[in-house]
Chains A and B, each alone.
Chain A
Amino acid sequence: MKVAVPWRLRLREQVVSMGFVLPALSLFAMFSVYPFYLVAKLSVHDWDGISPEAFWVGFGNFLEVLTQDPVWWQSVWHATWITLLALTIQNGIALVLALAVNRDLRGGHFYRVVFYVPPVLSGIVVGLVWNWIYDGNFGILNHALRGLGLGHLARAWLSDPGTALTAVAAVHMWKGFGWGFVILLAGLQSIPPHLYEAAEIDGANAWERFRHITVPMMVPVFFLVSILTILGTMQIFEIIVATTQGGPGYHTEVPVTRIVATMLGQNRFGYACASGLVFGAILLAVSLVQVRVSRQIAFTQ
């Protein structure tokens, strides 16, 4: 039997409910909605960050980002290149190491800790250490190459336009593979062992077990790692600042360094905000595509 709730009681309940939501809503509005509104507002203005007046430019900043700024698109390509390397090499290494540690390897706990050390280090510190490793004259890398009789390969890795971007990508991958390793290892450990036991009884070899059990069971984890890799790598910043500052020329510029350079180097706050929104839209589109593809594959399987 339904009992009619008096409107006063309903109202009171709603007020009470709103009261619980209000603090979180206020914080969200204050630290997410309002800043986003300000960024959107600034993106249609030309403002130097200090002067009392800002000039309305409409979609001029967006047009400039999209059609007249070759350095911006160059920087997007650089981030994409590093992301492609991270998706393949970094995550490949992370998977191999996770598979190795997932077996009852002696000292497995030790390796788990060691592999997880680089991600917890500061990006600036990592960058500075790799500066010494890559140094053209006194770096360990060139020293090792000379020791191996490969002295002709020695160079100033971070200052050579041909190697700077990949050298930076290598640092990023070294720092980042531990994240993927930990997540992939957790995924591997969540696969029920009886599946492998049954397959073994059926005569499946190691490759077949990997191909037909590990890979399908790990698909959601692969997607999680991939999406984190894409979002994390596209926003690479600290390592660039600590190694090349975007140089030589524009060879290691990435979107975030461009946004900072236009905001603080050129005092173009509006343009930087427009760049940020365009970059945010790119990341959102990539994420949506990835989620859609992952759903499709999960459904198929």
Chain B
Amino acid sequence: MTPRRMLGGVLALAVVLGGGGCAARPEQAADLVVWHWMTDREEALQTLAARYQELTGVRVQFELYAPSDVYTQKIQAAAQTATLPDIYGVLGESRDFAGFVKGGHVRDLTASMLQQDGAWRHRFFERALAMSTFEPGNAYGVPSGIYGVPLDMMNIQLLYNKRLFRQAGLDPDRPPETWEELLALGDRLEAAGIQGLVSGWGEIWLIDCFASNYAWNVMGRDKVIATIQGRVQYTDPDWIRVFRLFAELREAGLLAQGVVTMVNKVAEQTFAMERAALAFNGSWCVNVYRGMNPNLEYGVLLPPRVSEAHPMMIWGGAGTSLVVNARSRHGGEAEQFLRWMTDKDQQVFLASTTLNLPATRQAVEEIPEVLAAFADDMDRSFHPSVLPVSEYPAVLEAFDKGIQSIITGELTPEEVGRQVQAAKERELKRESRRVAP
């Protein structure tokens, strides 16, 4: 082969490879593409997609990317390259969601929601829709409106194993109602050789969740907001009280060994296999436990309050919300599909097959009995995403890691308070050094 021919071959290959890289994205085989992270709902979603195609002829393709942190990376990368699918979900805080909206990646659904006297909007529980809504004058500078469609709801509570309670000589029909009664369980369970509380406190957000519940109970919503705004410090006695609760749990011997590095999947397995008497987990666990141990006998327990000053609140709200890509060429069809997904039949189907709390009012009347206990406390739920402000992620990390250190006995609540406040001040300083592009 002559050099000229070889060169020709090399260049041709380069053109083919380079051209391939620059080629326009091939036409999607499906009419609508949906990205999600919910392994437990994959089968049900595929079933609904098949039904929708049968009904309308529109082919919807659900693509699963799990676990959730991988999914988050996937949508971030896709947002940066403007290759998001027609429908997707945004995981994270309001700040993250706001970033997607401001980046032009999320379609404003307000007009559709409010059509026909707000028929679509009124299907939903307020708490479910709140997480997808930006109010006028919000702190993120996002135009007010409704940007997402909730498919289900969730809240996070304590769960207790009734059989292990009996084994420890406790009354399974009378779970602890006060913080002191909860702590007293430690000795009883230890004497019976049963592990206490398991939870995914290695995935720090669940610690944050437990602590936030008690922050609302100890100091109330306004003081929590004031702290986020920087008007109250994390060294405040109320925050120290919240941190001390974890020391009390440790001292009472109520925490399972290894809880500080435990991921929630392991915590779920441990509780489902009846190796721990208590778990702190979300309503999605009903489906998870059913898969792991259908004979598990357990009850739902609202975390006992420590203060009478404010009501006990629990993390909750929309479990899954999907958004329509503002750049999608099939935005209208995507909206239609999401509207169909929130019709009563589909919501009942999702609730009964995936055992998640439905997001719409009509469907909740027909949920399986086991979910009713979670649903009962939905009115007590709150979510940081619905607050007008959100804490810096670096501060949340210091907060959650600090609590881990309290649980291991390394740091005192006061030391953690000081560390978290120091992280807060660093972030405020960083914010101030930003220069507009």
A residues sitting closer than 8 Å to B (CB atoms) are 16, 19-20, 22-23, 26, 46, 48-57, 60, 64, 68, 131, 135-138, 155-156, 158-161, 164, 243-245, 247-250, 261-262, 264-268
Asked if A264 and B405 make an inter-chain contact with CB atoms under 8 angstroms apart, the answer reads no
Contact B259 A159 (CB under 8 A): yes
Q: CA of A261 to CA of B398 in the docked complex: distance in angstroms?
A: 12
Question: What are the 9 tightest A-B residue pairs by CB atom distance, in nearest-first order?
Answer: A136-B257, A50-B99, A156-B258, A266-B393, A156-B257, A55-B434, A248-B260, A249-B405, A159-B258
On chain A, the residues within 8 Å of B72 by CB distance are 264
Q: Are B405 and A265 in contact (CB under 8 A)?
A: no
Extra A-B contacts (5), CB below 8 Å, given A159-B257, A249-B402: A50-B96, A51-B102, A135-B258, A248-B407, A249-B410
Q: Which of B53-97 contact A (CB under 8 A)?
A: 69, 72-73, 76, 79-80, 95-96
- 17 A–B contacts, CB within 8 A, in A order: A23-B17, A26-B14, A50-B96, A55-B434, A135-B258, A136-B258, A137-B258, A156-B258, A159-B259, A159-B260, A160-B408, A161-B408, A245-B263, A247-B204, A247-B260, A248-B404, A249-B260
In the docked arrangement, what's the CA distance between A16 and B275, Å? 71
Shortest C-beta distance, A50 to chain B (Å), equals 4
Asked whether B231 is an interface residue with its Cβ less than 8 Å from the other chain, the reply is no
Contact of B433 among A23, A60, A155 (CB under 8 A): A60
Binds A, one of B5-13, B36-44, B129-137, B214-222: B5-13
Tell me the minimal C-beta distance from B432 to chain A in angstroms: 11
- Given A22-B14, A49-B80, A244-B261, A68 and B426 touching (CB < 8 A)? yes
**Chain B residues whose CB sits within 8 angstroms of the CB of A53 once the complex forms:** 436-437
- Chain B neighbourhood of A264, CB < 8 A: 69, 72-73, 76
- B410 neighbours in A (Cβ, 8 Å): 161, 248-249
Q: If the complex has contacts A20-B7, A57-B433, A244-B202, are A137 and B96 also in contact, measured as CB distance less than 8 A? A: no
B contacts, CB < 8 Å to A: 3-4, 6-7, 10-11, 13-14, 17-18, 69, 72-73, 76, 79-80, 95-96, 99-100, 102-105, 195, 202-204, 256-263, 266, 275, 392-394, 397, 401-402, 404-405, 407-408, 410-411, 426, 430, 433-437
Task: Give the CA-CA distance A268 to B396 in the complex, in Å.
Answer: 14
Please state if B266 and A248 are interface contacts (CB–CB under 8 Å).
Answer: no
Neighbour of B394 across the interface among A20, A131, A250, A266, CB < 8 A = A266
Contacts of B10 in A (CB 8 A): 19-20, 22-23
Q: Are B404 and A138 in contact (CB under 8 A)?
A: no
When chains A and B are docked, how far (Å) is the Cα of A138 from the Cα of B193? 13
Which residues of the partner chain B approach A138 to less than 8 Å between Cβ atoms?
275
Nearest chain A CB to B257's CB is how many angstroms away?
3
Chain B residues, CB < 8 A from A49: 76, 80, 99
Partner of A249 from B95, B100, B393, B404 at Cβ < 8 Å: B404
- Neighbour of B393 across the interface among A19, A131, A247, A267, CB < 8 A: A267
Point out the residues of chain A lying under 8 angstroms from B258, CB to CB: 135-137, 156, 158-159
When A16-B4, A247-B260, A265-B397 are in contact, do A52 and B408 touch as well, CB less than 8 Å?
no
B104 nearest CB neighbor, chain A only: A52
From B392, B405, B407, B430, give the contact of A64 (CB < 8 A): B430
- List, in ascending order, chain A residues with CB within 8 A of B69's CB: 264
With A60-B433, A247-B202 given, is the CB distance from A52 to B102 under 8 Å? yes
Task: Write out the residue numbers on chain B whose beta carbons fall within 8 Å of the beta carbon of A23.
Answer: 10, 13-14, 17
Q: What residue of chain B has the Cβ atom nearest to residue A136's Cβ? A: B257
Report Cα–Cα, A81/B25, bound state, in Å. Answer: 47
Contact of B275 among A60, A68, A137 (CB under 8 A): A137
Q: Inside 8 A of B433's CB, which chain A residues have their CB? A: 57, 60
CA of A131 to CA of B430 in the docked complex: distance in angstroms? 38
A100 vs B276: C-alpha distance in the bound complex, in angstroms?
46
Please give, as numbers and ranges, the residues of chain A lying within 8 Å of B202 by CB-CB distance: 244-245, 247
B408 touches A26 (CB 8 A): no
Q: In the bound complex, how far is the Cα of B435 from the Cα of A17, in angstroms?
A: 47
Name which of B80, B397, B407 has the most chain A CB atoms within 10 A of its CB: B397
B269: shortest Cβ distance to chain A, in Å? 11
Residue of B96, B195, B434 with most chain A CB atoms under a 10 A cut-off: B434
Report the minimal beta-carbon distance from B168 to chain A, rounded to whole angstroms: 16
A3 CB, min distance to chain B CBs, angstroms: 20
A30 vs chain B, min Cβ distance (A): 8
Q: Which residues of A contact B105 (CB under 8 A)?
A: 50
Shortest Cβ distance from A261 into B: residue: B397
Residues of A within 8 Å of B430, CB to CB, are 46, 60, 64
Q: Give which listed residue, B76, B79, B261, B434, contacts A245 with CB less than 8 A.
A: B261
B76 to A50, Cβ gap below 8 A?
Answer: yes
CB-nearest residue of chain B to A158? B261
The smallest C-beta distance from A169 to any residue of chain B, in angstroms, reads: 15
- How far apart are A237's CB and chain B's nearest CB, in angstroms? 13
Contact present for B397 and A266 (CB under 8 Å):
yes
Given the interface pairs A16-B3, A265-B397, the reply to whether A245 lies near B203 with Cβ below 8 Å is yes
Chain B residue with Cβ nearest A250 = B401
Report the separation of the CA atoms of residues A222 and B259 in the bound assembly, to the nearest whole angstrom.
41
Q: Which of A46, A49, A244 has the most CB of B within 10 A?
A: A49
Q: Flag if B261 contacts A247 (CB, 8 Å).
A: yes
Q: Which residues from chain B contact A158 at a C-beta distance below 8 Å?
A: 258, 261
Shortest CB–CB separation between residue A58 and chain B, in angstroms?
A: 8
Residues of B within 8 A of A60 (CB): 430, 433
Q: How far is the CA of A264 from the CA of B393 in the complex (A)?
A: 10
Q: Which among B17, B79, B266 is the interface contact of A131 at CB below 8 angstroms?
A: B266
Tell me, in angstroms, the Cα distance from A244 to B201 when the chains sit together.
Answer: 11
A26 touches B18 (CB 8 A): yes
How far apart are the CA atoms of A264 and B67 in the complex, in Å? Answer: 14
Q: Which of A20, A51, A56, A261 contacts B435 (CB 8 A)?
A: A56
Shortest distance from the beta carbon of A247 to any chain B beta carbon, whole Å: 5
Residues of B within 8 A of A249 (CB): 260, 401-402, 404-405, 408, 410-411
The reply to whether B96 and A267 form a contact with Cβ atoms under 8 Å apart is yes
A56 CB contacts on chain B under 8 angstroms: 435, 437
Q: Please, how many angstroms separate the alpha-carbon atoms of A262 and B102 in the complex?
A: 21
The docked-state distance in angstroms from the alpha carbon of A243 to that of B258 is 11
- The answer to whether residues A137 and B437 also contact, given A243-B261, A244-B261 and a CB cut-off of 8 A, is no
List, in ascending order, chain A residues with CB within 8 A of B195's CB.
137
In the assembled complex, the CB of A73 is this many whole angstroms from the nearest CB of chain B, namely 15
Given contacts A159-B260, A249-B405, A265-B393, contact A48 B99 (CB under 8 A): yes
